[in-house]
Amino acid sequence: TESKTEDTKTLTTNGATLELKDVYETPKGNLKFSKEKAADSEDIPEASFTVKVTLSTSGDFEVVDSNATATTTKSFTAGTPVEFTIAIGQSFEIRDIPEGTTYTVEEVDPGENYTVKTVYSDDTDKKIMDGDNDTVTITNSYTSIKTDVTISKKETGSGDEIAGATLTLTSEDGN
């Protein structure tokens, strides 16, 4: 991504040379996206989810992972999604995105029983401007499938239910 342009002019007068340099640096901003669990959600059994980020600009950008101690660099091609693996409570920040870049952030289908809500704050037109720190919050709500199970003990042969029979259910770990 071109971040600087220079234009050099040379002026010579009375044997003296003066070089003028005009330097322009492209304004930049940042995009941070995070994953949260909805307050009314059951515990979420999945350890991680996939989020795709698409930028309208190509380039290598510094990425800060809230769960890591070091930054990494990710390559983006304009219009092509880049995948991130993210957990509840985690965030990523893509830094120094050129002004005018548009973006989308979307979670890949998290599976059955999930409701996904994506909130673009700070910038509803999804465009990076100079000095922006745009944020996107992806919130999941999970509802487990509830199933009624009827258990009875029946006599072999006749198939009649045994009145007064007691059963003990245990989990795989013996509890």
pLDDT tens digits for range 103-132: 999 999 888 888 888 888 866 789 998 888
CA distance 169 to 175: 8
Q: What is the pLDDT of residues 3-41, one digit of tens each?
A: 555 677 888 888 888 887 777 788 999 999 999 888 887
CA torsion 120-121-122-125 (nearest 10°) is 30
Mean pLDDT score of the chain = 85
Q: How many CB atoms lie within 10 A of CB 14?
A: 4
Q: Are 60 and 74 in contact (CB under 8 A)?
A: yes
Of 69, 37, 23, give the one whose Cα is nearest residue 139: 37
Does residue 107 contact residue 88 with C-beta atoms inside 8 Å? no
